[in-house]
Structure 1
Amino acid sequence: MSNLDQHYKQILAELGEDVDREGLLDTPKRAAKAMQFLTSGYTTSIDEVVNGAVFSSDNDEMVVVEGIEFYSMCEHHMLPFLGKCHIGYLPNGKVLGLSKFARIVDVFGRRFQIQENMTKQIADAVTEVTGCRGVGVIIEAKHMCMMMRGVQKQNSMMRTSVMQGAFRDNQATRNEFMRLVGL
């Protein structure tokens, strides 16, 4: 049994569970494996997920990838938050392979996180990888820490945005992005 398995077993016992009952025998191992997957963003680099999929392009018009589904874990309560991420950028001689946007979102989503920081981390990564003239990232998410405990508001949703470069400096660019993602 790994150290992480042992910790889960101890947590279950502290909560008053019989860790030797049939339904819980393998739970510490399964929980440890699940947590390692849910936090795999700590051991995955942006270079690894981009894997050279940055291509020369003379396109200088806005590129938008919307509705990238994700889940993450709240760093305050270790409960999930999940939703959609919308990314727009203005290429500057290079474009990024389409699937790489989802992979970048996953790298930052699979960490203990707050949504505000995740939004900025994604924007920074897209800018760093592409050298773009501007980027906009909007995340819309439901937080289990607000739905399952505390105020228990089932229909609340949090929206965060980060606008950099032309998306921050040029209102028309920002408006075009917002219109394209339906906001």
Structure 2
Amino acid sequence: MMRSLVPPLARRVVGGLLPLLACRPTPSEAPEPDAGAWNEPTFGPSPAAPAVPDEPEPVALRPREPGTIFRDEIERATAPGPAYLLRQLGPEPYRHEGHFVGWRITRLFPDDPSLCAVACDLALDDVILSVNGQTMHTPQGLSDALQALPQWDSLEVHSLRGGLRRVVTYPIVDAPEG
């Protein structure tokens, strides 16, 4: 009788992460560069060079209570869909003593830095344990929480920062007029 070379737990972990990995852009989404273009010297901008994406417009500082999230910020972060938000946060599985505990944040909105620039209480390497009671132990649980985000009036986030457990509640409010 032959044993499988891949332990059952590893198969479940890898199988559970496949939907999360499917949200990441693949190299095949980019057009192939012209092989000869790399060897020819150029002077000035190349007409075949890809357009540089526009920088997001700076957001004017708006007065806010500490720990408050404006609803329009949630809408900006979630409007393109859960896959976009996952790409912006780069969640990676975090394990303690071999057991999955939460999602480690590896990016903070590289495509729209202003979303987490002012009074943002999210930091690189934070480990999100649960949001509003949802533990998100699977990529589907994480995706479900991200889809529910626009309907919530507050976020109660259980996390680890620097190895210390944190519980913070963030009210979600409409931005002040002006």
Q: Same fold (TM over 0.5)?
A: no
Larger radius of gyration: 2
TM-score of the superposition, structure 1-length normalised? Answer: 0.31
Q: Greater share of helix residues, 1 or 2? A: 1
TM-score of the superposition, structure 2-length normalised? Answer: 0.31
Q: Greater share of strand residues, 1 or 2? A: 1
